Amino acid sequence: ELKVEQNPLFLSMQEGKNYTIYCNYSTTSDRLYWYRQDPGKSLESLFVLLSNGAVKQERRLMASLDTKARLSTLHITAAVHDLSATYFCTCEEGAQKLVFGQGTRLTINP
Amino acid sequence: DTAVSQTPKYLVTQMGNDKSIKCEQNLGHDTMYWYKQDSKKFLKIMFSYNNKELIINETVPNRFSPKSPDKAHLNLHINSLELGDSAVYFCASSPDAVREQFFGPGTRLTVL
C-alpha cells in the first residue's frame, strides 16, 4: 500500500526566505503531483512530475522528483505572503487513484 | 463557465437524515471522483467513476452511495448521517483514470 509522507507539516517562515518541503513515498509511483489549497478553498494543481529528474518551476516555486529515492521536493524561493497555503503532494497508486500526503501548512509572515 | 461545480456549498443537517451532494464537470473528462477531507485536512479518496462505471470504492460505509447518471455528473447520497460524517467533500475529474485531477469547490457538511 502506497504511503505518502510530507515534512514538515507546519512551516512558518519570514518573507524573503527560502525553504523546502519534502515528500517521501513508500512504493514505486509513475507520477507525482503538487497541489495548493487556500483556507476554505478548493485544491489547485501546481505541478505534474512525470519522470525521474523532472523539474518544474513556476515563479517562486520549484518542484523536483527523484524516483530512485522516492522523494519529491517543493522549493520556495524568496517567499512572499501570498504563498501562504497548504501544499499537498500526491502520487498515483496502481494507475487507479491518487494517495495524498498529510499536507504542509505554510504561513509566511511579513 | 466553472469547470467542476458542486452543490450545495454548505450543508447543515441533523443526525439520521439523508442528504445528497451533486457534482457536475464541463471539461469533457471521463473520470470523476469523490474525496473526503477531514478536520485535519487529510484528503482521502472515496469513489471513482470512469464513463459512468464504478472503478474505485474505498472502505466507505454502505450509507454512502455514489450515482453517475452520465459521465459529466457524479452525485453522492448519504443515508442516516452520523456526526463523524462531518467533513468537506470534494468532487474532482480527470481526462482518464488518475491523470491530473481538477477539483470542485467543496461541500462543507456539518452533522449536528
Judged by CB atoms closer than 8 Å, whether chains meet at B101 and A98 is answered as: yes
Cα distances (Å, whole numbers) of residue B36 to A18, A25, A48, B41, B56:
32, 21, 22, 9, 14
Mean pLDDT value of segment B83-89: 97
DSSP state at residue A22: E
Which residues of chain A does B45 touch, with a Cβ-Cβ cutoff of 8 Å?
97-99
B-chain residue closest to A37, CA distance: B41
Which residues of chain A does B105 touch, with a Cβ-Cβ cutoff of 8 Å?
41-42
Residue bearing cell 522549493: A75
Render pLDDT for B24-61 as a digit per residue (tens, 0 to 9): 999 999 999 999 999 999 999 999 998 888 988 887 89
- Is residue B7 pLDDT above 90, yes or no? yes
3-state secondary structure B78-94: ECCCCHHHCEEEEEEEE
Render pLDDT for B90-106 as a digit per residue (tens, 0 to 9): 999 998 766 789 999 99
Q: Which residues are CB-neighbours of A59 under 8 A, at least 6 positions away? A: none
Residue bearing cell 512572499: A80
